[in-house]
A and B are shown apart, each in its own frame.
Chain A
Amino acid sequence: MKSLRDCAYISLLLPGLLGAQQSKPWEKIPVPRLHEFKPQQPVRIELKNGIVLFLQPDHELPFVSGSVLIRGGSREEPAGKAGLIGLYEQAWRTSGTQKMDGDAMDDLLEAKAAHIETEGDEDSTSISWDSLKGDSDQVFGLAMDLLFHPKFSAEKLALAQQQEAAAIVRRNDDEDGISSRESAKLVYGANSPYTRQPELKTIASVTVNDLEAWRDRTLKERLIVGISGDFDPASMEARLRAVFDPLPRVAPEPKRHDEFTGPAPGVYFINKDDVDQSNVQIVALGPDRTSPDVATLAVMDEILGGDFVGRLFQKVRTELGLAYSVGGGFALPYDHAGMFRVEVLPQSARTVDATKAALVEIAGLNTRPFTETEVTRAKDDILNSFLFRYDTRDKVLAEQERLEFYGFPADYLETYKAAIEKVTIDDLKAVARKYIHPEKLAVLVVGNEAEIKPWLDALQLGAVKRVDITIPGAQVASGTAGK
């Protein structure tokens, strides 16, 4: 088998060695010049108080949609109230306003096939709306009412708490859910603002007062408003100014200073004896998007973890047939250190084989030379499909809102693309040296202990550490009918 594998690489990377293909008909098919295309950028308007408006007209369909992005999310919630934002995003919308409660709002909107929704995220909350053009004034008015005058109801908070409780007691049912959650805890720490999880106790402690306090605090932040669809820009601007101009000046945002140490290297295990496939996560701490190396990292990610073409896919799936799902790379969040994560899902008995194969590919970034073929292909993959990052006006708008939110320049995509074009093998080598440290990796396996043979000590990464995922306070077997 060994020689067979080597052949595969040679033929992949150096097609010339094994007798080249006689003809490559695809290279003879003409690729004409791409039709001229300038993506329409949204109009950006910065109000005196610091609030930013984006207008992106698009008259193809008779709809208008909009959103307000609000700074502050779950990473800022108090540890004792973990889950606050999850409850907030539900109760905000379902409670409704002083003028119209959430149920009445549902009736009105659904009859018009319109939507107003609220969301909570790691670093933000938001309200968004969407309706036919003819209903857009009314729906905008409702959305603004919900933004500025929500009336949080104890009843709807209780409903949200029940839903969240259901999610908490079910969180160990799904192998994938366990592994992504617990591997992030290994990287950031179990009590980090990025990974601490809602518990029955912490969600029960959230009150209507907490929701109101959160709203009062975050509404003072710098809002980002975006509108897209079938509207007249001048009158839309006037309408938005009437709403947002009178708001007080927003305070400058303090920079975040997150410090993470990364995982303690080694093998971690969580037993789940009702599965026949392991979920393996190989993780480490990576950089954020302000790193000067992002373009090179993107190319390296494609070489390592790209679908079909990456080394992991080629080796673990295509060549060894060990997994259907395999891949990974660096996450590169905008404002805090991200995770390096490689995932592979082999049958229980092949857990060690598949994990070893993935580890070899990761380490190989430092030892197995990048080839010109590989680098060209990875760059082509990224650059030739780059168009799909801005082929619709909604995508262009969403990108501009994101860049505004994180304080990145508006031409970020262009400079990023230009940087990818310039990536060389030497860049890749340097970046692999800088970021790929096999000795710092943590390996988390969720799987069926009885079936994992050989056992994980065969990985020779030290004693296997067991992770306790007991859900504090959860009742057991409560759902059985008549038992």
Chain B
Amino acid sequence: MRRGLRWGGRTALTLVLAMAFCGSWLGGHGQDLKSFEQRTTVKVLPNGLTLVVCERHDAPVFSYTTFIDAGDVNDPMGEGGVAHMFEHLAFKGTSEIGTTNYAAEKLALVKVEAANKAYEVEYLKPEGGDKKRLAELKDAFVKAQAQAYKYVVPNQFTQIAQANGADGLNAQTGMDETEYYWSMPENRLELWAWMESSRLADAVPREFYKERDVVMEERRMRVDSDPVGRLIEQFAATAYVAHPYGRSDIGWPSEVGQITATEAMAFHRKYYVGADIVVAVVGDVDTKTAMPMLERYFSRIPGGPKPEDMTTVEPRQFAEKSVVVNEQTQPFYIEGYHRPSYRDPDDAVFDAISDIMSNGRVSRLYRSMVEKEQIAAEAEGFTGYPGEKYPSLFAFYAVPLPGHTTAEMREAIHREIDRLKTTDVTDAELEMFRTRARADLLRGLADNQGLANSLAEYQTRYGDWRQLFLELDKADKVTKADIRRVANQVFVASNRTSAEIDTETSAAKSGGGR
């Protein structure tokens, strides 16, 4: 459930790359760890920011990912969605980009904040505020925005990027992190470094309240007007009682609808410091000449200590919980079990279970529910929802075929889980998991953007991009006994949250009928 600045963002790379790697048959094609070590340079700047540069000279292009180790899990109470709001703000320009007169604009923006504050104080009064007073304050707020807007050159930041050949320009905010990325012709490397470091160091809360409306539309599109979106939001909210993984990732309407530019900028000040940022560049780059230039630009980002981690720990669940939503739409079933974070020694065991249960037409859920019993159109399990950095969920979902029920989905999933608990997986299944993990990693290396994302992610999560390659040692060590042990520990009723859509009978009026 990541959200991008635009629609249709890519899926989480971690699904493919969280699986690990072993160097054994990487030789021969310059794609082993050794060859990567020769082409990849890491530099930690005095402000704490990490640069990772990987040379790949196939075409005169490069891709980058800026990976911020902060996401919506870091949203302060009452400000759900602020990490994502800031991500949108990061496209609004700087004191040099997107303004005709920053000195004057800055003053006007201070007035916008004051006007919004005055309006908000009245609006949030328990009885809803005085109508006449509210109208006046709203009017003053709109006028203040108009004053500030006079100095705006709209979308100039993205216009410069796109006019210079930026491809796949986007960003996404997850629970754990915020990522910014695009690809460009290699001769724009310095221009990019200037732009990227500018917006990280010198963001301006321009057009904030218009953008908040845009984000409210994004919420309506992804959650409120999508039956499965609505269900999943309730699913996570029910599974968690304490940890912020249970909060709406885009923000509850009353929170994201009230976020202020001041709050978004406070989030930026706290989390957009060097120690929280990794920038990875992959492509037709000469490290020797590029590194000093990159260093010069990215040193502009403030230093300071890494912000303290979120410390709330989800308490152990002791009873099954369930959500049943009646909708006009067709039925859908999902259930999740709490699992430890990505740092747990069993992390690779969950990857193995996910692969064996869900990957392709040989997977257990496909073979049993889709092919043999013929009760589901789709059935899969996946790990690491809604994030990975903190203890998260391993989830299973199924889409029933016409005439079949959510209860049948649940029973069938439980049959497959029981099999996992009572009988060892086969040697062939385990070997297949390892082989596919290796091949998937290898296939991912050919794509500059995918590689930049992976390098930045692994550098952030493990403090060393090499872990991308080394992870598979862990995968190779997963045993049949591990899988049974973990299944028995984790996939138990008291650790389960289920959510389902049941079809409202009133839908009969718009349908055909038996």
Give the B-binding residues of A (Cβ under 8 A).
1, 4, 7-8, 11-12, 15, 18-23, 25-26, 29-37, 39, 59-63, 94, 102-103, 106-107, 110-113, 132, 159, 162-163, 165-167, 169-170, 173-175, 230, 273-277, 306-309, 313-314, 317-325, 345-347, 377, 380-381, 384-388, 391-392, 470-483
Contact = CB atoms under 8 A, between A and B. Distances in A.
A480 B167 contact: no
Contacts of B514: 475-476, 478
Given A60-B29, A321-B212, 5 more contacts: A63-B443, A112-B435, A173-B227, A314-B155, A325-B7
Interface of B: 6-7, 28-31, 58-61, 91, 96-97, 99-101, 142, 146, 149-150, 152-155, 158-160, 162-169, 183, 185-188, 190-191, 194-195, 207, 209-218, 220-221, 224-227, 284, 327-331, 359-362, 370-371, 374, 377, 399-407, 428, 431-432, 435-436, 438-440, 442-443, 445-446, 500, 502-505, 507-508, 510-514
A480 B503 contact: yes
A170 B403 CA distance: 12
Contacts of B96: 21, 23, 25
A347 B96 CA distance: 34
Contact of B436 (A113, A163, A322): A113
A377 B207 CA distance: 22
Contacts of A15: 100, 153
Nearest to B513: A476
Contacts of A169: 330, 402
A425 B412 CA distance: 63
Nearest to A16: B100
B508 A29 contact: no
Given A309-B159, A318-B155, A476-B511, A384 B191 contact: no
Contacts of B505: 476-477, 480, 483
Contacts of B224: 275-277
A35 to B, nearest CB: 4
Contact of B153 (A21, A37, A347, A476): A21
Given A19-B100, A474-B512, A481-B406, A167 B377 contact: yes
B217 A35 contact: no
Q: Which 7 A-B pairs have the closest CB atoms?
A: A479-B331, A384-B165, A321-B213, A113-B439, A275-B225, A476-B511, A308-B158
A474 B60 contact: no
15 contacts: A7-B150, A8-B154, A21-B153, A61-B29, A63-B442, A103-B361, A111-B428, A111-B431, A163-B370, A163-B401, A275-B224, A324-B215, A380-B163, A392-B446, A477-B508
A474 B510 CA distance: 11
Contact of A481 (B30, B407, B436): B407
Q: Which of A20, A25, A59, A113 has the most CB of B within 10 A?
A: A113
Contact of A308 (B60, B159, B362, B428): B159
Contacts of B370: 159, 163
Contacts of A20: 100
A276 B220 contact: yes
Nearest to A59: B29
A28 B472 CA distance: 46
B402 A33 contact: no
Nearest to B30: A60
A477 B511 CA distance: 9
Nearest to A386: B165
Contacts of A106: 360-362
B163 A132 contact: no
A159 B159 contact: no
Nearest to A65: B443
A11 B153 contact: yes
Contacts, number: 298
Given A111-B435, A159-B371, A474-B511, A308 B185 contact: no
A309 B153 contact: no
Nearest to B154: A318
B330 A170 contact: yes
Contacts of A34: 60, 185-187
B210 A387 contact: no
A162 B154 contact: no
Contacts of B374: 159, 162
A165 B402 contact: yes
Nearest to A170: B330
Contacts of B439: 113, 132
B61 A26 contact: no
Contacts of B218: 324
Contacts of B29: 59-62, 230
Contacts of A60: 29-31, 58, 446
Contacts of A33: 187
A345 B220 CA distance: 9
Contacts of B158: 307-309
Contact of B165 (A387, A470, A474): A387
A207 to B, nearest CB: 19
A173 B403 CA distance: 16
Contacts of A62: 28-29, 31, 442
B447 to A, nearest CB: 8
Contacts of A318: 154-155, 207, 210, 214
B406 A308 contact: no
Given A307-B6, A324-B217, A477 B100 contact: no
B187 A480 contact: no
A308 B432 contact: no
A159 B361 CA distance: 13
Contact of B159 (A165, A377, A387, A480): A377
Contact of A309 (B31, B58, B155, B284): B155
B382 to A, nearest CB: 18
B503 A26 contact: no
Contacts of A475: 402-403, 511-514
B187 A35 contact: yes
B246 to A, nearest CB: 23
A277 B221 CA distance: 7
B363 to A, nearest CB: 9
Given A7-B150, A479-B502, A388 B402 contact: no
B380 to A, nearest CB: 14
A275 B507 CA distance: 14
A170 B505 CA distance: 15
A470 B164 contact: no
B1 to A, nearest CB: 15
Nearest to B442: A61
Nearest to A163: B377
A382 to B, nearest CB: 9
B187 A476 contact: no
Contacts of A19: 100-101
B360 A346 contact: no
A175 B60 contact: no
Nearest to B98: A21
Nearest to A323: B217
B163 A384 contact: yes
Nearest to A114: B439
Contacts of B169: 307-308
A111 to B, nearest CB: 5
Contact of B405 (A273, A321, A384, A479): A479
B503 A387 contact: no
A61 B399 contact: no
B101 to A, nearest CB: 6
A187 B453 CA distance: 41
A325 B405 CA distance: 34
B187 A274 contact: no
B59 A31 contact: no
A478 B100 contact: no
Nearest to B428: A111
A481 B224 CA distance: 24
Contacts of B216: 347
A28 to B, nearest CB: 10
Contacts of B6: 307
B485 to A, nearest CB: 25
Contact of B146 (A4, A61, A170): A4
B224 to A, nearest CB: 5
